[in-house]
Structure 1
């Protein structure tokens, strides 16, 4: 540059001074290194001044990112040197730039993201700087670090993120239905929360979140998020059974993943389901029968669940396992079955027609009676379980109604029974002891060759069903008779034959005055007639209340030999009798002394006892009581060997010995009670018990020992299998500090289980001398229930007798009324400790009082003899034997009871009974 010459003036001098000062500040980089030189230059250049170059006109930001800014500008007059000044992190930065292009391009790097910078661009020419072009530029902000989905539903997604360096402006970009969406977001909190709404359900969205700073966007944080899928519209039950339910539904928008949730037995169940078809089909298995399940079906899309479609479905209820016909009558049947679930109801059909819709059953057993049925008719019944209008498979079976044998017009002859029976039966039998007659030929029942006067039990059976039982007595045989002269014609003696057959009484009717004579007598002497007269006599036989068909009628003439001869004979006879009486009393008193062989109703052991009539019993009793009860001792000792020759093989088997309370009180084989259960867990049919005869049948009672701890279950098995309705207990569980019988019933109303039988005491009534209880007995396998009456006599000493006869007879009356009222034909169980002493006494008393009432006679010795053929030692002590006689005496002579009972001193009675003493001390049951 050529120096400019000019004339120095005062103005020029001032200008020079200013330029010198400016040069000293900005132009020092070109100054001479020596002071002398500088002073020389200054003096030399006082005559020239260099002007500042121009600033650039415009600087543009051509590009930027988080750490750099690229600037461009056009050079000034082709000047190539520039200085860029700016501040960074509090310190000044200066960059020298050499421009060799028509356009200058410069990148400022190592900057901070999202920062606004203030730049000054200085043009440098010949060492002279321009005043500088000032401008600002911004780096791109950073992206957010993380975006989280805070919530979502079918139409919206809620997003949250932390702001970048307190930047408050963001742009959210995404596509929806093929078009781009952009949402501007202003953040004013420490955490940004933004809801994207109006979205499509079950859709995966790709989002870009851009940070905006000073109008500059970040590169954008890219992420995906999913809206919740829709629920299925409808779920249908396509099939079901007792343990499974098959469900079908249409997939939601081709989504293939589902979760089925439900509860089972108190625990939550979850099943993952993958759908690959246009229709989803899924079976839920291992369910409980007859149960209502609550299901939730959840649609799953990209790991996100729908709210869930909730519905219910029910499994089919189970088939009733067993229906028991608990009762059958002529016009009704009663059905019983177990009620497993009280939410179920039942439909009962008879012959395909609905007869009952049984609902709201609150008990464990369902019992329903169907009435107005026809007698002797087969009916098909079915029971269907119903739950939520779903029916189980029906339990089906058949039964037949009973037949009323008593209503049949039976034609009973001397040896036959005939009748026409309306109703269904396949077999008809007539039984009398060991004899059984069978009738064939449809509804016409005919039995021939029967024994006259015998009572037969007519039984009708249909397969295993007993249709009816009815007792019919054959007409007793006809009698023939003749009369004999008696008492010189003032009496007649009628004698009759013994025809083949059975009869209980003979009715003799003379002059319209009938008299009944027991069958043990073949004649009768009737006074009050006149000699040499003819009277009409009628004889008829009776078997119980049944009369022979035709009476035997004949003429009977009294003695015609005159009244005088008869009178003389009577006087002579009287004299003879007086003489004999004087002879015996005064001359031969030894004939009636103690040494005389005892004769009574039973003469020693050589003569079989016979029944004693009411009129003769008092004399019989007093005769037995003579000589310190010698008669009782002789009669009782004659019973010792009775029955002892019979076998007891089963009772002494090794497996049965522990079941016997005493080793010398064992049941005879021929009449022992056998347990008949088919339960495989029961290995033996043995129980220490015998069938005992009664007044009406040979199996009217069961005499048994008091149960042991190990035989209590067997005791209840026997009661159930023998359909026993009454139990008579004539001992206490503990007497004299010794256990006599195991307590075999519940102590209170809490049920106790004995084997398969659940026993509940429903009532207990206590009296000073006895306790009455009612038991409900339920079979655990069949749920059949029965009632059993318990008669417990508590004031009877062991080996002894009650203090008075009246108390025991009152107790016996309670038992007898129960038996007569029930009339089931089942035996009554009687037991004490050993089942022989007190047991035999109460059984004998019941039978003898019936005999006394119905026949006017008793045969105590004969019935004890009969009992001992069934079970040893029945009526165990002589005092008990005497007590039976005293009971009859007190019945016949209620106002003449002895002051001191002769049976109370047991030790005196045993003086003449050595064998019984030995038995007493050895066994002491």
Structure 2
């Protein structure tokens, strides 16, 4: 049973048609500090509806119509107790509101006039917001997503007495955050610093931020990163580039609209240009490159510089904006240094990238006839003006003049050549012309790139031959008459002795020098050396006889246009009868040609190959010849460069290196430098076949000259023989530059050193003449011919080389006994010897 006061209040609520709330509740004033917890007056959802509208819907004016009824009602209301807590409070959140439902209190349920709903976020110490309702449900809207709220519901009676609050905590549902605020970008050369503030809308839903950036050029895709802070540094960027930067706030699953800004990185010095390439022609260099890999977008233009490496004052700079440039008006055969630097808008340059490049060569223009300096019966001296060489600095090799008899086609063609170039001219002598003969002559110049076109034809006629026969006849008649007169007078005086003794002892006059006995050779050689004209006359006779050899021996293969480029010197061609032939490749008729000749040795069998120093484009042919003809010893008697002229291309590798020519690989396994020569061991590999060769490089022999002494030549021949014996089989290949002068001298000395060991006579003239039958101009100068005499004289006088008392039984070994202990007597017995018929004391070299 309810107490009397409760029963009275309950009956009053049900039966009463109107009552009025205290004036202090409506006005928000209170006579006590505790009333409604000293909070301001709670606003109503409808300002025209009082707190009892849910029960009676009677207006305030009506309730105040009579003071009597009001006082009665207030007296009745004051009898209501404070309600109990609401029951079964349920909160249903969404992103931005919370729906509340509850049930009335169990205790004093009829005393409830309204409910006060209060809510506040559990962050930042915010104050609570409030509202009232007379229903048992309410929707709190306008909330932030992802925020935990403390929600309470309090039942209030007519006297503003409130129940104990029913309190619950609930978090609003996640929603997509708003855009970040106050995005700020601070760029440097290679990074951008970002700061921002959380979104105002649903900022508490942010779990992290996605930062995205991309070039505003080239259509690059964006790069991304994430952070949970409100700042980020994008590094590793290119300088001088505008970037589009965006920041998006993200919840667990969704992202919002990005805050986007554009900013350009600051300027920086460009890096080095990349892939600098230089392509050359005779007078141009085409230079190409790629932009720098570092700070490439800061490049405003490029500085391209070039200079002749031999002339620092020739430096030229060109400012360009593209990555390609053609440098014009250069000289042929000149090495240039080319450099490229990238430049930014502040004129700061990158480190230059350098390349060395040599312009291609080209043949010169044709020489022009200038003057005839001499015109004799058999010789003409012609002066030729050189063409303009201001843009052609390819090394000149020689000027050649070719003279052809006009009225007598059967006469041999005569050539003359000179390597002595003056400032702007060259003088060429053409010898062995026929007297009283008209010739047409042309000239051309050969440089390292090839031969020029022919000059204009000039015509000349040699002088008439002096009637030597008539003069000799007259002189002879005078001498005969004089002799007869002397004979007659002496006979009449009785003083004539007949026949005269000097007739009995007169020697037969011969054209060619005869072999000399070994024991008389030193004295004979000393007389020859003391009278240079005797050796000169002998050498001139050799040259004269060689003319007939050249006239009767064809060189057609060397004159074929396709083969001319394979010749180092146009006037040194192999005879067709003795030339070395190569196997033909793919049916090419010119692939079998090389400027080389087979040479017979002391045994009268082919023992040597004499050849020119390989050119760059004939190295493959050179090694084909070595492999095909089983060469086991290569003797090199020239240096690669002499007097600033290329004499031979380096066809062999350096120590512990390999070179490849065609299908052959050559490797240098050992290299030993001696006083006068360098000995190398080369391994030639072709497919599954391998050969070991000796390479002997005689370093101390000048072109057109001779070594300083004879002992170094004799010693070198000993070394060459030693390696030939060790190889047992195969030929000895000898080359200098042209393959005739120094090559012929070395082969002649080697043959004669073997000859004096088994014969009593020596024939230097005959030996050299025999070599010239096999290759033109072997032993090229008179000085080289004289040097052979000196070598053989010193060898004969050396008892360790030849013992004159035992010449017949002497073997080859004494010549080489100082070579070393590794060369045994048995090895020397394998050296080729002449047959027994040539071993007699009276044997001579076969001519």
Q: Relative to total residues, which structure has the larger helix share, 1 or 2?
A: 2
User: What is the TM-score normalised by the length of structure 1?
Assistant: 0.32
Q: TM-score, normalised by structure 2?
A: 0.35
Higher normalized contact order (CA 8 Å, seq sep 6+, divided by chain length): 2
